Amino acid sequence: MSRNYLFGPFIGEAIYELSYFVGHAIYLRKKNPKNKIIVFTREEHFDFYGKYATIFIPLRLDKDLIPYKFGCDNMTAKFYDELIRQFASKYKSLMKIHDHFYPKITSYLKDIKWHYPRNEVNFDFMTRPYNKIIASDILGDADNIILSDLSGNCTYVNEHFLLPTSYFFRLLDIDKKITSIYGILIEAIKCCKYVHADIDSVVGRLAMLMKIPLITQREFLDVQYLNPINPYNSIVVGCEKLEDGIKYLEETYENNI
């Protein structure tokens, strides 16, 4: 029996939506492909859900509303509650809604991190088709690719091609109706050998969720902090120098990565 689920509105930072809600949406759709997943979020976040979403509702917010954690600076609780009410009301008039998932930022639950059990999340991302085409054009025939948040130039490091994420955000001119920067990044990460980013960046989180070894510049990694945001126990290495991280991964895991 199919069920209908609402997700959103998501007004906060991308990393909070990605880490705490997207995996459950994908899980529900994979559990039963006939389930309907209706998502209310920013257009640039659509490809976190990709082909698993049944309906996308674009969330358009004023530029003065700055995303912060699960919420948004300068947005009143009344306005946010009204967004929720209108979204729920529209679809409840069209179909039976079995559950509605969104951050309860106007209640005493506002600071709770919405972790779902590990057996109720799935991050098998399937973005819309054009993302893969664009990512393939960018990467070309390059081997041993490292996507980096922490470098500004394309270069080679220890026989690995280092590609900065700044290229994606600053230089790509895309049709936002059929693709997104995050969607292209997801497809690019799938082709990477390693990712070089902080654990609290979107790219770093994507690497962990996609089981791509992550090299960070943190000298100390807090296991208690890392555990809930790394549900697959993906490889994370803390090294001040990228070269040291590459060397460690090559020597420790050899051909197992």
- State the 10-residue block means of pLDDT for the chain, 257 residues long: 96 95 97 97 97 96 89 90 96 96 78 75 97 93 93 88 92 87 97 96 97 93 90 94 94 71
Residue pair 186/210 in contact by the 8 Å Cβ criterion = yes
Residue pair 198/204 in contact by the 8 Å Cβ criterion = yes
- CATH code: domain 4-120 is 3.40.50
Residue pair 9/40 in contact by the 8 Å Cβ criterion = yes
Give the per-residue pLDDT at 43: 95
Give the per-residue pLDDT at 173: 84
For residues 218 and 214, give the distance between their C-alpha atoms in angstroms, rounded to a whole number: 11
For residues 201 and 33, give the distance between their C-alpha atoms in angstroms, rounded to a whole number: 31
Nearest by Cα to 101 from 15, 205, 4? 4
Give the per-residue pLDDT at 253: 77
Q: Is 228 helix (H, G, I), strand (E, B) or coil?
A: helix
Residue boundaries of the structural domains of the chain? 4-120, 129-253
pTM for the complete prediction? 0.93
